[in-house]
Amino acid sequence: MEARKHLIHWLRDAHGMEQQAESLLSRQSERLESYPDMKARIDRHIEETRSQAQRLEECLAKMGEDTSAIKDLGGKITANMGALMNAASDDEVVKNAIGSYSFEHFEIASYRALIAAAEVAGEEYIAEVCRNILAEEEAMAKWVEQNLPTVTEAFLGFETAGMSGKR
Amino acid sequence: MEARKHLIHWLRDAHGMEQQAESLLSRQSERLESYPDMKARIDRHIEETRSQAQRLEECLAKMGEDTSAIKDLGGKITANMGALMNAASDDEVVKNAIGSYSFEHFEIASYRALIAAAEVAGEEYIAEVCRNILAEEEAMAKWVEQNLPTVTEAFLGFETAGMSGKR
């Protein structure tokens, strides 16, 4: 059945996306120095992200898919999203917040498509797992949205005071 | 003043982003065949996007910046976001909708940062222009969000019926 085939394909894509998310978030957290609230929220989301990848593996196993080689996937999304890291820029904290917000919405849309596909395929358990993950992604996106003006103002404040607020 | 310097820099980035948006959206619209509602909404947003680029040029001129060479900018974002086009995939309509949703939120976050920077710099006119553009980006993002499940279901329906709904 076509819906089932695409559902499996998109679950694999989502797993690769979460592996990439963990990598991106870890690099951001390691570099953050002057923004402890953001670092704490990112660290919390790294834990969520690891758990999301595990839940997706369980979904794939439930669909009869072998997940032993799943660590090799995600290369395509890696190439896409790696470019959203802005380690070299003098305003990396602001650019990374913008990139994270965009990436969270990439994830949000991916789970919305997955939920629709799981419903079409009659896989209610998988739809429910994806709804739970979606709620976590939306909470993270909301946090970034609410904190982006504050972070931007703090960054400009550091700069005006002659201090580096780049990260 | 540091806020002013960053404001100008980010206005230039936003202009490059809108040029890239026009290019991405145009390529998507040209290829769409089986999704007339999405094509119509994208075409409307292409017009908005061109107008946004012009409004950003006016903001830069107001900041005393030369905009004659501005068409050359945007290369960095081009490289980042070009990867979000999925012309080769058999599910390009779904992947492109996900990519568009992510890109709209890249724009949304960029304008939120710009609004904060314009306010810090005391440039209320520019903050207001950016608020107006933000509202257009949010409306487009909302449309994609609301239509993503329908598009996903339509795509799977085409596939199940043995027809190509790839674009």
In a domain, B165, yes or no: no
**Is there a domain that residue A84 lies in?**
yes
> Does residue A9 belong to any structural domain of this protein?
yes
Say which amino acid occupies A38.
M
Answer yes or no: is pLDDT of A78 > 70: no
In terms of residue numbers, what domain contains A81? Answer: 2-160
Q: Is there a domain that residue A7 lies in? A: yes
pLDDT for res A2: 84
Q: Is B87 on the interface with A (CB under 8 A)?
A: no
For chain B, the domain total comes to: 1
Q: Is residue A148 one of the residues assigned to a domain? A: yes
| Average pLDDT score over residue span A104-131 | 97
> Does residue B167 lie in a domain region?
no
CA atoms within 13 A on the CB side of A100: 32
- Between A84 and B27, the more confident residue is B27
Q: Extract the runs of DSSP E, i.e. beta strands, from B16-78.
A: none
* Closest in B6, B94, B145 to A91, CB measured: B6
Stretches where chain B sits below pLDDT 70 are: 71-88
Could you say which of A6, A97, A102 has the minimum Cβ distance to residue B102?
A102
Per the domain annotation, does A92 fall within a domain? yes
Q: What is the CATH number of the domain that holds A85?
A: 1.20.1260.10
User: CA nearest A2: which of B88, B40, B166, B82?
Assistant: B166
- The pLDDT tens digits for A42-60 are 999 999 999 999 999 999 9
Write out the DSSP string of B111-149. HHHHHHHHHHTT-HHHHHHHHHHHHHHHHHHHHHHHHHH
In a domain, A167, yes or no: no
All residues of chain A having their beta carbon less than 8 Å from the beta carbon of residue B3 are 156, 159-160
Residue percentage of chain A with pLDDT more than 70: 89
B residues 39-68 near A, CB within 8 Å? none
pTM: 0.92
